[in-house]
Amino acid sequence: MNPKPANTPASQDPRKSAETNPDVQTLQSWIAAYGRPALVAVAIVVLFFLGQAVWRNHQAVKQQALSQALFQPDPDAQLSLADENPSSPAAPLALLQAGTGFYNQDLAEDALAAYERFLEKYPDHELAPFAAIGKAASQEALAQYADAISSYGAARDASPAGSPTHFTAVSGLARCLEATGDFEGARAVYEDARLSTEDPDLLSQIDSALLYLERSRRSAEAPAPVTESAPAAEEPAPAVETPAEAPAEGPAVAEPAPEPAAPEAPAAEKTAKKAKKAKKAKKSAPAEAPAAEEAPAAE
């Protein structure tokens, strides 16, 4: 007869031991009291993080689409992109590229409007110095030299020497001063820029600009060449008919007036009459000089 096994912990029912465990009983009591609100909170947390992931993915896709749209050559499309997504990081770049596109298409007024909008919306943006240069260049293209001088001057003062926009502003300011005839002011701008840099490339550009400025000054101050006026074409004198030379010596004698025609006569009578007329003409002419022909009257 086999003895009965002793009651050991291994032989006890695990469910009964769990029910009698105080920690398990405490957890069950907490679940009974707070289980439903806890499950709702967990679900909310899960949904929140899931929504954040979906939103971030959507934003990433949208930013990628905006970035691709920045490379469109149409400035109107880029302007619309900036208007529809003002809070997007791509909006300032789209607005700046719209201004550049308008400027390259010789639409200086539209370019000026785009650059001014950029500076109004994003005055502290890292691309603001480039927008300031674009604004000044658009005013120069519109021959608004007073405004361009002011804008170029502000851009030069706001850019540190050696920056990409500094010498661009210096050159634009000198050009506008030269366009208004202020050659000394333009020279002073270049001389100041020369003292503020040691870059050999910039120094070479400044020297070339000074030479060109001096040529322009001499050309503007040189007196205008005097051109001799061509003599007026002489009008041909009206033709005057000169009277024919009169015969030498002797007064002109008028020919006798012809006698009125007689009625028709036989041929023998006509011949006799002609002979009589010839004899009369010889008797009436003087012996010293031949009969002079009547000179035509001058017109």
CB atoms within 10 A of CB 173: 26
Q: Provide the 3-class DSSP secondary structure of residue 53.
A: helix
Measure CA of the first residue to CA of the last residue in the chain; give whole Å: 184
Least confident of 11-15, 185-189, 194-198, 226-230: 11-15
User: How far apart (Å, rounded) are the C-alpha atoms in residues 31 and 25?
Assistant: 10
- Whether 131 contacts 118, CB under 8 Å: yes
The pTM of the full predicted model, rounded to 2 decimals, is 0.54
User: How far apart (Å, rounded) are the C-alpha atoms in residues 156 and 165?
Assistant: 7
Please tell me the CATH code under which domain 73-142 is placed: 1.25.40.10
Tens digits of per-residue pLDDT, 203-216?
999 999 999 999 99
- Give the residue extent of every domain in the chain: 35-69, 73-142, 160-221
Q: Quick one: CA torsion of 291, 293, 294, 297, rounded to 10 degrees?
A: -150
Check residue 89 and give its pLDDT.
Answer: 82
Better-scored residue on pLDDT, 272 or 215: 215
Tens digits of per-residue pLDDT, 61-116?
445 554 555 556 688 888 888 888 877 888 888 899 899 999 999 999 999 999 99
Check residue 199 and give its pLDDT.
Answer: 87
Rg (CA), the chain: 58
DSSP class of residue 11? G
